[in-house]
Amino acid sequence: MLFSTGAAFFTSLVALSTSATAAPAPGPKDKSAKPPAFFLAGDSTTAVQAENGGGWGDGFLNTTLKSGATGTNYGHNGATTVSFRDGGDWATVLAAAKNARSSYEPYVTIQFGHNDQKPEKNISMAKLTANLVKFVNEVRAVPATAILVTSLSRRRFSTSTGKINENLADVTAATKEAATKTGAKIIDLNAASTKYLNAIGPENAATYNLNPTDFTHLNSQGSVVFGNMVAVLIDEALPELKQHVVPVTKIATALGKGEYYFA
């Protein structure tokens, strides 16, 4: 009974996230033959836990990949869609995906927005969409499968409403637009993380902070929780990956019910 409530919690998000996808991506054929390799492109909210950075990437790679699946976290602290390309990270991701092809089916997750939205970066939302569309097209040329990811919510709550400050709406919309334009797979991590954080409340949410005053980056426990959220969303959007992307049952159950999890 409780479990079905949990399933409903996530199903509503998934309906939301997949409705933006107009047409299925023309992905590589016969995905069952090789295990997947995940190459994670993004900013510090994807990146390895370190000073001034820490996202969901390591928790996803360390706890959910099974049956020969593998992956590498290329999240770069402070990155925008512009700096990630100009600094050479993007070329590294594409090369890694290409090199993996003999033994793996490559997937590239793409999550940007936290820095692209900063006024001093001077990146319009139209430009963000265009940069993401270009990323998707270049992933397809590898060939590999692109998965767009909307930005992980920050953990600041409004003192008036008691709910999460939804200050990533612009970059979330720009990412959905890139999915619509390309037909790429997309997971709405922004919606799922916002919903979960609202369900558990500000005190619990802050326990995932990298340090007490950092409401953006995740500590290791947060990486594991939100990494498992990404796994749940990937399995919903790309069911062919279910054998290889296996969320930890107790975490998936807690997420599904909107119940606080910390370990």
The full 3-state SS of 176-222, as one line of letters, equals HHHHHHHCCEEECHHHHHHHHHHHHCHHHHHCCECCCCCCCCECHHH
Our CB check for ligand NAG shows the closer of 20 and 41 to be 41
Site string for ligand NAG, 50-89 (x = CB under 6 A): --------xx--x---------------------------
Applying CB under 6 A, among 207, 209, 220, 243 the residue interacting with ligand NAG is 220
* Nearest residue to 186 (alpha-carbon basis) of 2, 16, 3, 9: 16
Which amino acid is located at 85 in the chain? Answer: R
Candidates 74-82, 108-116, 176-184, 220-228; binding stretch for ligand NAG (CB under 6 A): 220-228
228 binds ligand NAG (CB under 6 A): no
**Location of structure tokens 């500000």:** 202
Distance separating alpha carbons of residues 37 and 87, to the nearest angstrom: 23
Closer CB to ligand NAG, 92 or 220, in the complex: 220
Q: How far is the CB of 224 from ligand NAG (least distance, A)?
A: 6
- Does 6 interact with ligand NAG (rule: CB under 6 A)? no
Q: Which is nearer to ligand NAG, 9 or 43 (CB)?
A: 43
215, 223, 229, 236: which one binds ligand NAG (CB under 6 A): 223
Here the tokens at position 63 are: 């706890």
Let me know: does 56 contact 152? Beta carbons within 8 Å: yes
